[in-house]
Amino acid sequence: MPLVPLLPIFHCFNREYFDCALTDGSKPLVAVRWSDGRLRKTAGLYRRGPTVIGEQGAEIVLSRPLLELLPLSAIESTLCHEMIHAWIDLVLRLEEGHGPNFHARMAAINAAQSKFQINVRHKFPVPTKLPKWWAICPGCGLRFPYKRIVAGAACRQCCNIHHGGRWHANFELIFQPIGVEE
């Protein structure tokens, strides 16, 4: 599924909610992009400084793994949230995080439309820990993702089919680190 292009939404929000303060002419003061697969702990971020690549020196990054399958409203609310951070930093030139200016602008934007609602925290499910193990059934060959090794776990389906639901060592799951064999 192709990712939603962010720049048109940025320009639209910039006009409607920021009085065009986040552009110089038609040029955005902050770069806007999707992350690669790595930004998994937060739905979006704003940052400025020498580590940011690109001529603006400031960027908004939205998490592809967390947002790409969510409805457009989740993308819009995350982008708008980060645009408030960019506005406070680049236009107001304040360091306040989720302070009074953030709350005032967020409330104004939430009241102005009903397509999306901005929150102080991005309220999207963040996968806490990725599974590290495949548990493979030696009987049927099915594999199940596990976060940790569970000693003695057996394939429920095979135990049901072959042993009337009783645990049997023939179907004890074999744990293999994910990523090793693929």
First-residue to last-residue Cα distance in the chain:
24
Q: Does 140 bind Zn ion (CB under 5 A)?
A: yes
Nearer to Zn ion, 16 or 96 (CB): 96
Q: Does 159 bind Zn ion (CB under 5 A)?
A: no
Residues near Zn ion (CB under 5 A), total: 5
Site string for Zn ion, 81-120 (x = CB under 5 A): ----------------------------------------
Q: Catalytic annotation on 96?
A: no
Cβ proximity to Zn ion: between 73 and 119 the closer is: 119
The catalytic residue among 76, 82, 95, 181 is: 82
Residue 166 CA to residue 161 CA, distance in Å, equals 10
Which of 24/160 has CB closer to Zn ion?
A: 160
Q: What angle do CA 83, 45, 104 make, to 5 degrees?
A: 40
The residues annotated as belonging to the active site are: 82
Q: Which residues bind Zn ion (CB under 5 A)?
A: 137, 139-140, 155, 158
